[in-house]
Amino acid sequence: MPSKRLSVVVTRRLPEPVETRLKELFDVTLRDEDTPMTRAELVAAVQECDVLVPTVTDPIDAGLIGQAGPNLKLIANFGAGFDHIDVQTARSRGILVSNTPGVVTEDTAEIVMALMLGVTRRIQEGLSLMQNGEWQGYAPTALLGTRLGGKRLGILGMGRIGQAVAKRAAAFGMQIHYHNRRRLRPEVEEPLDATYWDSLDQMVARMDIISVNCPSTPSTYHLLNARRLRLLKPSAIMINTSRGEVLDENALTRMLKAGELAGAGLDVYEHGIQGNPELRNMPNVVMLPHMGSATHEGRLEMGEKVIINVKTFADGHRPPDQVVPAML
Ligand SMILES: NC(=O)c1ccc[n+]([C@@H]2O[C@H](COP(=O)([O-])OP(=O)(O)OC[C@H]3O[C@@H](n4cnc5c(N)ncnc54)[C@H](O)[C@@H]3O)[C@@H](O)[C@H]2O)c1
Ligand SMILES: O=C(O)[C@H](O)CO
């Protein structure tokens, strides 16, 4: 099928150069407002297009895929995480799914570092003192945090982002530990100077900071459940930039309220887009609005990846970033 005739619907506004290129290559329908599509709009989109370009705000579930028209052949996600797409149902209907891995890695790892520093160095408390004009001047005992150097970082999910976090944290003098579905090959593990923990329970119990970097899948749902969270040291800090569902957010909130955990840095939430409301006013919790990959460079590169995936498919090949149910 010549790529000019491929009908592509994009569910959200994308960076202007990406939209321009999509218009050059395909018969593309772009979105005017920068809001998520309603369910009715998503249904209309999947009924008419050859390719849907959704993002994390679009639930592409079995019900929606069931209403797709016969032309829909590719769901080319703008984003690395694809837990909002029912890949199994798509596959059973002969619809391919692709994502944008790799280009979000460095930016998300930077946000992990920002969250770690934000919590350990009490950046939010310092900022609000300054913004409210409440600072009384330097005091040797005020706003004391803890240093990252020498602390044990436990990375849950040592893939692309986990490894990028490991490199950055090592530069801060942290000791790197990890738990992963599979142990890294020695030639990957050794340069990271990382200690592998086969038992997540044992790792969790010994770390100063945990960074969650595995995807959200059926097997990672509440991987950090109430029981596991209780294994953490009371001085430990939890960082989550993966997906809210990996961490039992209510259990985390209860522990923070009870002083059983020193703090948390969160970019993603389980309960609604804003997370458990009780987290909001805790001085030891830094909350960001899902901005791990939010850089100009990263969003352009994500757009380029989407275009390569769609163009490769239009040219009759499998998209290079195809995801399959086995990856869950
Ligand atoms: N906050 C953000 O803006 C943002 C940006 C990009 C990605 N993400 C999230 O980060 C996730 C990871 O991205 P990535 O590019 O590093 O993915 P990746 O596939 O490269 O790495 C994920 C790692 O998790 C491991 N894993 C999977 N299931 C596991 C389990 N049950 N137990 C232990 N380890 C397990 C995998 O083996 C892999 O090593 C994405 O799926 C997405 O949800 C968030
Ligand atoms: O997974 C990602 O790439 C980000 O979380 C946005 O979707």
Backbone angles phi, psi at 10, to 5 degrees: -105, 125
Ligand with the closest atom to the CA of 215: 1
Confidence of residue 1 (pLDDT cuts 50, 70, 90): very low
pLDDT value at position 325? 79
Residue whose entry in the numeric block shows the structure tokens 């703008």:
78
Largest CA distance in the chain: 70
Q: Is the CB of 154 under 6 A from ligand 1?
A: no
* Interhelix angle 16-25/296-314, nearest 10 degrees: 10
Q: Ligand 2 in contact with 266 (CB < 6 A)?
A: no
- pLDDT over threshold 90, residue 213: yes
Ligand showing the shortest atom-to-Cα distance for residue 265: 1
Q: How far is the CA of 280 from the centre of ligand 1 (A)?
A: 26
CA 83 to ligand 2 centroid distance, Å: 10
What pLDDT does residue 3 have? 43
Q: Which ligand is in closest contact with the Cα of 54?
A: 2
Q: How close is the Cα of 77 to the center of ligand 1, in Å?
A: 16
Taking the model in full, what pTM does it have? Answer: 0.97
Tens-place pLDDT, residues 59-118? 999 999 999 999 999 999 999 999 999 999 999 999 999 999 999 999 999 999 999 999
Question: Would you say the CATH fold of 105-287 matches that of 7-103+296-327?
Answer: yes
Kindly report, residue by residue over 171-208, the tens digit of the pLDDT.
999 999 999 999 999 999 999 999 999 999 999 999 99
- Per-residue CA distances from 29 to 25, 26, 52, 73, 188 (Å): 12, 9, 10, 16, 43
Residue 221 DSSP one-character state: T
Cβ atoms 266, 246 nearer than 8 A: no
pLDDT range class, residue 314, cuts 50, 70, 90? very high
| pLDDT at residue 182, rounded to an integer | 97
302 CB under 6 A from ligand 2?
A: no
HEC-encoded secondary structure of 246-305? HECHHHHHHHHHCCCCCEEEECCCCCCCCCCHHHCCCCCEEECCCCCCCCHHHHHHHHHH
Q: Is 321 in the pocket of ligand 1 (CB under 6 A)?
A: no
Choose one of 55, 103, 293 to mutate for the ligand 2 pocket test, by most ligand atoms within 8 angstroms of C-beta: 293
How many angstroms is it from 81 CA to the middle of ligand 2? 5
Residue 218: predicted pLDDT: 96
Cβ–Cβ under 8 Å, residues 261 and 238: yes
Q: Break the chain into its structural domains and give their ranges.
A: 7-103+296-327, 105-287
Superfamily of domain 7-103+296-327: NAD(P)-binding Rossmann-like Domain (3.40.50.720)
Regarding the beta carbon of 263 and ligand 1, being less than 6 Å apart is answered no
Nearest ligand 1 atom to alpha carbon 158: 39
Q: How far apart are CA 192 and CA 115, in angstroms?
A: 21
219 CB within 6 A, ligand 1: yes
Q: Is the CATH number 3.30.70.1400 carried by domain 105-287?
A: no
Ligand 1 site-directed mutation target among 181, 185, 240, most atoms within 8 Å of CB: 181
How many CB atoms lie under 10 A from the CB of residue 290?
17
- Closest ligand 2 atom to 100 CA: 3
Which pLDDT tens digit goes with each residue over 151-177? Answer: 999 999 999 999 999 999 999 999 999
Condensed to tens digits (0 to 9), the pLDDT of residues 7-35 reads 999 999 999 999 999 999 999 999 999 99
Distance, CA of 67 to CA of 88 (rounded, Å): 15
Question: Which pLDDT value is given to residue 2?
Answer: 45
| Residue 231 buriedness (CB in 10 A; 0-12 / 13-18 / 19+) | middle
pLDDT digits (tens, 9 = 90+) for 258-310: 999 999 999 999 998 999 999 999 999 999 999 999 999 999 999 999 999 99
Four-point Cα dihedral 40, 44, 50, 56, nearest 10: -10
Which helix (H) or strand (E) element contains residue 210? Answer: strand 209-212
What is the sign, positive or negative, of the torsion defined by CA atoms of 276, 156, 59, 267?
Answer: positive
CA distances from residue 51 to 45, 142, 168, 261, 308 in whole angstroms, order as listed: 9, 56, 37, 45, 13
Confidence band of 145 (pLDDT split at 50, 70, 90) = very high
3-state secondary structure of 326: helix
Cα 250 from Cα 226, distance rounded (Å): 9
Do 209 and 116 touch, CB atoms closer than 8 A? yes
pLDDT for 324 equals 87
Residue 183 DSSP symbol: P
